[in-house]
Each structure stands twice: as structure tokens, then as C-alpha cells.
């Protein structure tokens, strides 16, 4: 039987480009090549698309473009009859039909519905969330509003679409209360996020957030600690064990997420069984409310009073063997290869 062709899309025009390379290399290494043929599609930081014929080691090392003979310019064809990619070779255009696409892209221009929309336009099944849910989950303000309508607590916040005059900004922040967070509405890996302890740092934090997006949230600092839950499935959902982020200070910013210099992740979370059950159930409710499909990681806060507050959904979380999503799923019996295989099967479901 002919192997199904699975495109793994990596890189992207995003500050999280190099994180995507590490995740994608791990995914490629764990795809069952007895069942599937992997089509490696790389996007440079400048937005060029190539089919890459080399090793995932070169993807991980960010040297995949060094040998240009292994990089063929390519695009996803919007023509649903072609149902795949076009490679622009010296000898002409070659078409490769795809059975599914697995975007392993983090942040803007990849996790936000843009690439998902391109795949859906082409009629190519997606491994992971679709266009609408990807866009909604990337937009913290809209995601919070929908989740709140579902009866789940969210942080108090105010939306800014321009930098207000200082007196107005001070009043908005005082209504939220210090400490607070200033965040771009649509950005990943905590880029542009600042914890603000007093009015002195507020205006600079808002300016920094506006560097990453045209809309900014001023959001309360929820007391307690951050917890996460891996969710997998289309109709019937499977949850991984919940995890917990222990911080020694500050907050879980980009550097801390990928180095864990001063923080620690506990998997499973250090909570009792009824609390973990509530976390997992709440994660499923959020996943369904935002229309997620395939897989996602739902991040929440657990307050000292054991109240669950929604934080955000990562529709393409980090995907190495030491990343949070695979570790949570390992807690319910999925090793990395089995997890990748299950996700591909979900993407191929009609």
C-alpha cells in the first residue's frame, strides 16, 4: 500500500523561528516511516518556502539552507485538484499530492490561522487546529471573552488599541490594580510581556507591547501559580496529566520557558486528585469553547483558594521530548512516537 504523504511545515516568519526548528526536527524523527512519507516544508524568516530534502539534524541546527541542492523552492497550491505542493525545479514544476499537513510553527504567521487557512483553501487536512480556532486562540482578548461566556473565570483586563494619554493610562491601570501584566494581544512565547509593579514602569511596558501587536492588554496578575493541561482529540477528548510551573521570582518569560534557569515544572502538578480532575475537565471545556481540534495545551492559573482562571491556549505548543505537552501526555501512557502517530491519525479523520 502506498504510504500517505505528510507535510511537516517548519520555520516561519516569527520571533519563534528557531523554536519551531527544534520542535519540527523532533516530530520528523518520530514519524513512523513504515506508514508515512515525510515531506519537509521549510519557511525562512524572510518568508521564502522550500521543500527540504536533507536531515532533521540540519533543521534543528538551523543549517538546513546551507546546501542549496537540498532546498527546492516550493509553495502550497491553492488549487484543490492539485491538493498539495508545487516544486519549482530547473526541469519544470513538480506536483506532490499531500494527505495531510502538520504545521509545527510557533507564534505569528504560523500558529495564528494564516498557514492553516492556506491548507484549508487547498483542501489539505490539517494535523492540529483549523483556521478559526487557531486565530481565536492567538487573540487573547477574544479568547478570554468567549471563555468567560462559557462560565469560566478569566483575568480582569482592559484592551488598548492605541497608547492613551498618561492620566487615562494611569486610571485604567489603577482600576486593574498593581501588580499587573501588559501583553500584546497576539504574540507567543511571552514576547512583549512585562510584569509591572507600579505606575513608574507602566508607560514603557505598554510601548514595548505595542512593538509586537496593534492591540495590547493590561491584565491583572492572578494570585497563585500557573498550571497546564494537554488536550488531544476531535470529538472524544483525551487529557494528559496537569503540570505546574514553580517560579522562584518574576514570571514565565521567553528565556525562562526555554532555559528554566530559576523555575521548575512539576509533572504531574502538586495538587490533589479532585483538583487535577477539575483542571482537566476545565481544559476540555475551554478546548471545545474555542473550537480546537487535534491537540492544544490549555494554560490556566490556580489561585490560593483553588479557583481556576483561564490564561491562554497554545494550539501548537513546543514539541520536543522535554516540552510540556509531550511530557503531560507521557503521564497517560503516550511515548513521543505514539503521540505523533495519534496526532497524525486525528488529522486524517474525515
Annotated binding site: 140, 181-183, 189-190, 219-226, 299, 311-312, 314
Whole-angstrom distance, CA of residue 191 vs CA of residue 334: 31
Angle between helices 273-289 and 140-149 in degrees, nearest 10: 110
Cα separation, 130 vs 121, whole angstroms: 11
Say which of 14, 133, 157, 189 is annotated catalytic: 189
All residues at 6 or more sequence positions from 113 whose CB lies less than 8 Å from its CB, including other chains = 130, 131, 132, 133, 134, 135, 138
Residues belonging to the binding site for Mg(2+) are: 299, 312, 314
Return binding residues for ATP.
140, 181-183, 189-190, 219-226, 311-312
Which residues contact residue 151 at a Cβ distance below 8 angstroms, ignoring those fewer than 6 apart?
A: none
Half-sphere exposure of 30 (CA within 13 A, CB side): 21
For residue 77, indicate whether it is catalytic.
no
Catalytic residue among 133, 134, 157, 323: 323
Q: How far apart are CA 165 and CA 198, in angstroms?
A: 17
Active site residue 189: yes
Q: Annotated catalytic, 323?
A: yes
List 14, 16, 20, 330, catalytic entry:
16
What is the number of alpha carbons within 13 Å of residue 172 lying toward its C-beta? 20
Residue whose C-alpha is closest to residue 312's, from 109, 181, 155: 155
Which residues are 75's β-sheet partners? 86
Preceding omega of 174 cis (within 30 degrees of 0): no
User: Residues with catalytic annotation?
Assistant: 16, 189, 323
Amino acid at each position: 500500500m502506498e504510504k500517505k504523504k505528510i507535510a511537516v511545515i517548519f520555520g516561519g516568519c516569527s520571533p519563534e523561528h528557531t523554536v519551531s526548528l527544534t520542535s519540527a526536527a523532533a516530530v520528523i524523527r518520530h514519524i513512523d516511516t513504515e506508514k508515512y512519507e515525510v515531506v519537509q516544508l521549510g519557511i525562512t524568516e524572510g518568508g521564502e518556502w522550500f521543500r527540504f530534502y536533507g536531515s532533521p539534524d540540519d533543521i534543528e541546527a538551523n543549517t538546513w539552507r546551507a546546501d542549496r541542492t537540498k532546498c527546492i523552492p516550493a509553495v502550497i497550491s491553492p488549487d484543490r485538484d492539485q491538493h498539495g505542493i508545487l516544486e519549482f525545479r530547473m526541469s519544470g514544476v513538480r506536483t506532490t499530492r499531500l494527505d495531510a499537513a502538520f504545521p509545527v510553527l510557533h507564534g505569528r504567521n504560523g500558529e495564528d490561522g494564516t498557514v492553516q487557512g492556506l491548507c484549508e483553501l487547498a483542501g489539505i487536512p490539517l494535523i492540529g487546529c483549523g483556521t478559526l480556532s487557531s486565530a481565536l486562540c492567538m487573540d487573547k482578548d477574544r479568547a478570554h471573552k468567549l471563555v468567560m461566556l462559557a462560565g469560566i473565570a478569566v483575568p480582569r483586563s482592559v484592551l488598548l488599541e492605541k497608547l492613551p494619554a498618561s492620566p487615562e493610562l494611569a486610571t485604567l491601570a489603577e482600576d486593574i490594580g498593581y501588580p499587573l501584566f501588559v501583553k500584546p494581544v497576539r504574540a507567543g512565547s511571552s514576547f512583549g510581556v512585562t510584569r509591572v509593579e507600579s505606575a513608574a514602569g507602566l508607560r514603557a511596558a505598554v510601548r514595548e507591547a505595542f512593538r509586537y501587536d496593534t492591540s495590547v492588554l493590561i491584565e491583572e496578575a492572578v494570585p497563585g501559580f500557573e498550571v497546564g493541561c494537554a488536550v488531544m482529540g476531535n470529538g472524544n477528548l483525551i487529557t494528559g496529566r496537569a503540570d505546574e510551573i514553580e517560579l522562584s521570582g518574576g514570571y514565565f518569560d521567553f528565556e525562562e520557558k526555554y532555559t528554566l534557569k530559576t523555575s521548575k515544572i512539576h509533572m504531574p502538578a502538586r495538587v490533589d486528585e479532585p483538583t487535577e480532575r477539575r483542571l482537566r475537565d476545565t481544559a476540555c471545556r475551554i478546548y471545545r469553547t474555542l473550537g480546537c481540534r487535534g491537540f492544544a495545551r490549555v494554560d490556566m492559573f490556580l489561585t490560593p483558594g483553588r479557583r481556576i482562571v483561564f490564561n491562554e491556549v497554545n494550539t501548537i505548543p513546543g514539541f520536543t521530548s522535554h516540552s510540556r505537552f509531550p511530557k503531560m501526555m507521557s503521564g497517560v501512557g503516550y511515548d513521543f512516537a505514539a503521540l505523533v502517530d495519534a496526532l497524525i491519525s486525528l488529522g486524517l479523520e474525515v
